[in-house]
């Protein structure tokens, strides 16, 4: 890359709020790391299949969709972790109607 990535845009995609000082600091560091990563361009990979998992998964890992626990107990235990809940829903601030 000739120019560093647009960090403000990346921060927005990542939903990370960064201060101006952080933007400057991360910009320099990330450019340095990306410069190092350029070396991958030296490797010939035209006929190489990308690897996602290190071993071929042994078989298609499907199983019967069986209920193993009491649904209400599980729901309750999950909702108890929520910062805010409302009638068995996760409550969040306003979603629509505000400019991003």
Partner 1 sequence: MILDLQKKLKEKKISSVELTKIFLKRIHEDDTNSFITLNEEEALKTAQQADGEREKNGGSSSPLFGIPIAVKDVLCTKGLRTTCGSRILENYVPPYDATVVERLKKNKMPILGKLNMDEFAMGSSNENSAFGPVRNPCNLDHVPGGSSGGSAAAVRAALAPLSLGTDTGGSVRLPAAYTGVVGLKPTYGRVSRFGLVAYASSLDQVGPMSVTVQDSAALLQAIAGHDILDATSSQKPVADYARDAGNYKQKKFKIGLPKEYFVGGLQSEVQSMLEEVKRQLAKSGHEFIEVSLPHTDYAVAVYYIVAVSEASSNLSRFDGVRFGKRVPANSLVEMYERTRALFGEEVKRRILLGSFALSAGYYDAYYKKACQVRRLIQQDFQKAFEAVDVILSPVSPTTAFRLGEKNQDPLQMYLNDIFTIPVNLAGLPALSVPVGKDAQGLPIGLQWIGKPFQESQILQAGQWIEKEFYFEMPKGFDV
Residues that bind partner 1 (CB under 8 A): 5, 7, 10-11, 13-18, 22, 26, 29-30, 32-34, 36-37, 39-43, 45, 48-55, 57-59, 61, 63, 74, 77-78, 80-84, 90, 92-95, 98, 100
Our CA angle for 93, 94, 98, nearest 5°, is: 135
Nearer to partner 1, 39 or 87 (CB): 39
Question: In this structure, are residues 79 and 85 in contact, taking their beta carbons and an 8 Å threshold?
Answer: yes
48-52: long-range contacts, CB 8 A cutoff, minimum separation 24 = none
CB of 94 to partner 1, least distance (A): 6
């Amino acid at each position: 890359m000739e120019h560093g990535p647009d960090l403000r845009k990346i921060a927005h995609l990542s939903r990370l709020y960064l201060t101006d000082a952080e933007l400057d600091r991360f910009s320099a560091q990330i450019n340095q790391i990306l410069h190092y990563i350029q070396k991958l361009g030296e490797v010939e990979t035209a006929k190489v299949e990308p690897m996602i998992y290190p071993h071929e998964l042994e078989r298609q890992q499907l199983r019967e969709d069986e209920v193993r626990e009491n649904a209400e107990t599980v729901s309750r235990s999950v909702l108890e972790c929520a910062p805010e809940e409302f009638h068995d829903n996760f409550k969040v601030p306003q979603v629509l109607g505000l400019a991003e």
